[in-house]
Each structure stands twice: as C-alpha cells, then as structure tokens.
A and B are shown apart, each in its own frame.
Chain A
C-alpha cells in the first residue's frame, strides 16, 4: 500500500513545513536581534510568505500526501488562509502590547508560528494519528504562551491549568483513537469509511471512540462541559495571547472536528446527533448565562467565546444529513471567519484599554469611553452588536447562515434555544455599550498604532462584509471537503 515519498507530498503541506522551519530560524535569529520588534516583523513576513505559498498550493487542491495522512482540499485552504490571517492579526495586537506589559521576549513570535503550523496541519489531517500529532503540536506552544507573562502568578496558573486539563483532554483523544483503531483496524479516515461501508467495523466501539475524540476536541474549542479551563486561561493569559488562541485554536479545533466527523463518522450521525444536540444546547446556555455576572471583560469574552462555540456546534449537529451537510459546513466556516474578525476587534479594544498590573479590565472602567474616544467606542459597539448578532454586522449574517443549517436540518427546538440564548447574550454585551455611552467616567487608552489599526480595520470589515457578504458566502460554500 505504501508508496515512496514524492515531491508532491511536500507540496501538500508546504506552508506548514515552511512555517515550522521559519519559526526554527527565527529562534536562532532572535538571539542576535536587539530590538524584538524586528522579530515581530520577521514573523509577520513569514506568515505573509505562508499566504503566498497557500496561493501557490492552490493548483494542487484535491491531492493527498504521505500515504493519505494529509490532504489538501478547498476546506483546508480556506481554514489555513484564515489561520494565517489570524496569526498576522495576533502578532499585530501583540506588537505594542508585549512591550507595554514588560514581557517583550523574542520567543513569543516563534511560539506563535509553531502553534500556527500545528493548527494548519490539523486542518489538513486525514489520519487520526496526524490529528493527535498536530493537536499536541499546536497546544504545547499555546500552554507556554498562556504562561508568557511570568513571573505573574495568574498567568503561570493559567498556563498550568490549561496544560493539565489539555493533557487530560489529549488523553481522551488518544484513547478515542485507540478505540476507533480497535473498531476499524485503521486510523486513516478513508480506511474508517471503507471499514464501515464494508461492515467490518465494530460500530459500538466506533461510536465510543468517536465520542471520546469529541470530548478531546470539545475541550480545545471550549464546549460545555469541557470548558472549565477557558475563563481562567483566557483571563490569566496575556490579552494578545487570548485574542490569538480564542480565534485560531477554535478555528483549528473545529476544522478537525468537521473533517473527522463529516467524513469518517457521518454514518454514526444517528447516534451522535442527540449528543451534539445536547452539547450545543448546553454550551449556548451555560456560556451565555455565566457571562452575565462577569465584571471582568476578559472573563466575559471568555464565556462569550464558549457560547459562540455552542452556536457553531449547533449548526454542525446535522453533519450526517446528506442534504444539509454542505450548508452546515459552509455555515461553520463562514461563522468562524466572522467570529475571527469580530473577536480580534473586540480584543483590540481590550488591549488598548488594558494597563500594566491588570488594570483597565473591569467593564465598569469602560464608562465614558463614548465621550472621550468616540471612534474607539463606536468600534467596540460594532463588535458587541456583531457578537449579539444584530445588523449591520457580520455577526448577524453569520448567525443567519448558522440558523439556516439548523432549520434545514429540521432541528427547530435547537434553533429556538439558539435564538433565545442570543437574546440572553444581548444583556451582557449591551452592558459594555451602556457603560461606554450612558455612564460617565474617564478611561485611559494606550494609543498603540498597530492595535488601533487592527481595531478600526476589523470594525470596517465587520460592517462592510456584512453588507456585501456574497463573496465570502461563495468562498465558504466552495471550501469542500475532499475524500481524496
């Protein structure tokens, strides 16, 4: 069965290889770089080249590499492009923030690149072993990044918590893979499909394996009840890291989830739908309800991020329904893109208001922002409206797409839970707006050019793309999964 390694194999994961190599190089170069800003620009250059390579790669869409261990398809290209852009945004937000917080260390940027290359590999993984490999590859740098603000105790604690629970969740994935292997005698996704089709697979074992993998990946994307680490890790980590991990790690996690379940486990959907149904309903409810009492903006956004994982999972619940799967995957991708844009914008505002020593993070501290910095407050309002899902923002268009998938799958009660929880979410997102415009205060911002640029740009994108979303709908719907 195995074929010797060819050049094509490397082309299929060219951006991943390049990024990992660039990160190694950057670690060395950083030793001689005096101003860490240079490292940041070099890292950004690496990501830009990565985007170029992705473009170059597009000619080979539909190919698999390394004996079908990885695959290059429209889906992976879409996700990887989003990941690379997300990395660029993350670096831009970190650029001034790290210096201001006194944690500007050169290894930050290579760590981001390592993590990204793991995420990109994950989006291309067509074998459960590669899924596990890339899961670890993306997680370990994230653990380090979470604890990056050492010697700050909160950051170290967050890193340790994330690490311990993450390792635990990794165990679930491995165990799940073992069960799947026991059931189908292979870890390759196409092998699993074939085994099920030929009736060789032990279905109950396969369902158990799938459920365990769901737990492990559910941890990564923060689905209730595997979300416990999220608020602490998001709050303790430096804000720039939180921005990055809440967007990019979610993207990668969902990419793997979608690929594994929509391809290998689609035949199990009858068994899995009730589980996904319950998990997504629970995630939307718990995430939104627990966000209400939060007074710290980072913690609130952490719960909001949990809630949004619930919405995405909701659209994916019907993954096994052949008439809906395509809409469902496109909706997930579109929403991930919309969420990335909005989320980075919101974190940009958080970063601009944060001051050393964890100051400026209380929502009450946003009072008066509308008066003092009208443009920034307008941006934040746009992000909050987008997170609620109101026009004219990407959040509404994204939710429209998500709910379309749910309704097409005839899961009306789930959709009702979805819209009612977004009503709940309006309550706490509006609190930020209330503070900014309707209370008086004197907030201070640190006018970092990059963070300001990103915040403004994201606000413009959130509105503009929502008015002309056709092209992104098109791209998301074209980002098909390939079965080799």
Chain B
C-alpha cells in the first residue's frame, strides 16, 4: 500500500510538471491506452474500438504510443485496478470503452488529475479530466427498424438486449418506433441476455426468439453468434451486423449493419493532446458525424425497401428526420413527445421507459 501511494504521488508530481507546461503547449509524444470489455477478436464492439486505436497509430506514427491495451476487463473492481495501473504506467490519455467502467473511470480520474480519461457511452464527468463520448446508435437502429418492419413475414421482430441501461432502451425504442411506422402490425420481443459477450448465450437467446416465430433479430450484444443462429434457418430469419460490419454473414442473414467508427474521434482527441488544444468534452455524434456508419444493404432486401432505408439514413444525416419525432407516448400511455417535437438529448440519455406498444417491463 505504501509503495503504491508513493508511486501514485510520484506519478502525480511528474504529471503536475507536465501539465504546468506541456499541456498548454501540446506534447511531443502521447501515450494513449485502451481498456476493452471483450476480446479484440469478438468481431464487434471491442474489435471496432481496436480499429480506432490502430487508426491513431497510423495517423500519428512515432508521435504516439498506443500499444497499451487490456482486453476482457470485467466491469467492476478489476477495472479500477487496471486503470490505476495504466495511469501509473505513464498513460497520458486512457480510453475506457464500456458503460460499466463509468464509476471506476471517475474514481481513478480523481486520483490522477493529470491523466486524461475518455469514457465511452457514459454520462458522469465528475472530474475535469474526464470526458465522455458516445455515438447516436439509435439512428442506426431506426434504419434497422424500418427494414425489420418491411421484411418481417410473421410481424414479430426481436431485440437481444444486453443490460437495461438507457443506451440499450433507446435502441429498442428507436427500432420499434421505426418498424411500427412502416408496419402497424409489428410486435416486438425483447430478451435480456445480461451479458455483453457470451456467444453461446447470445445464440440461445436468438434461438428462443426464433422458436417464438420472430423472423428479424437485432442484437445489442457484441458477438456474431445471433447471426450464426439465424444463418441456420436458411434465409427465413434475418439479422443485422452490430458494432462491426459482420460482412461474413452477407448477404443473409446479415442484411445491413451498424458500424461503430471510433477512429476519427480517437485521432481528434489524441491530436488535441499533441497540439495543446485538448479540453474536456461530451461528444455525441451520429450518422452525420461519421461515428455511426450503416453497412451495405444486401440484395436480400428488395430494392424499394433498400431505397427507403437509404433515404431514411440520408434524412437522419441531413437533420431532416429525427428517429424520435412526436407524437410519441410512453408505454403507460402518458404523453412523452407532442406532435412534431423531437426528443431532447437529456431524455434520451436517461431513457428508462419503453414507448407505447412495446409489451413487457424493463428489468430494474
């Protein structure tokens, strides 16, 4: 304990001198570190963050050391330990890439005021050195919802939820609303897997829904397992690439995908640290900002549906359409958005209710 305190204070002292001079004017070399919730080989969420890390290396070359990352870090006490170790190990900026690292990130950030922390998908910025960044995945969910509503034959569409957090609830609502818009008969089945990454369980969740007659499955978990399960149906069930393109399941069951594109943001932040323009931030970009890409819509989707989906994508990008546009009621029938009103960001970030028409409860 004593040695750790000593190390911490040494690191703080070192950081202080750096911040006094270097940060104002930029740095010669930045060490950027990454904490991942799954393995890089998940082919989804973590893989995309690692692509962002590689983009940083490609962009800055010798001026950045982004070789430090830790895979499969549990969300909990372990995260704090990993973060402390990274901060002590000389990282200048640490990207924590899962919602569950929120409290750990803020706790460690207070101990290391001279290390910059970037927390993905969170909302707490309790110290001046914590920034948050997120992507408007719900915009992609809207496009998926439209395709789901048009493509379903059983009028039953499914969504594999990971954990009942606003990020996921938001996705469910966007998916449902935009499916309902084109197909009023559509019914949504939600299954909570309580994991971000467990291929066998994700496949079981998909299987359970398929047995209930669901024929379009969107997933909010990280692996390609739901698509592998859908592939067993020989084209009767379709799904979407999640986080990564998952192109290996083209043209069906993967008919399109939401691709997380973190590279530009990571380059921007590391670049700001290098040239001294770094400031605390709360970034939430979507299709427009290029953080959310819609993967190629395959030939398994009829041309007119494809055109409709692409138009929706472009309308969202241009701002002509917001996936949450009133009138929308909450599940219990109470009004949320009035006619023509669009959802304020605050409502979305704290979203803990289903919209009207979805059955079932959000586990609390």
Is A bound to B?
Answer: no
Which residues does B use to contact A, with CB under 8 Å? none
Which residues does A use to contact B, with CB under 8 Å? none
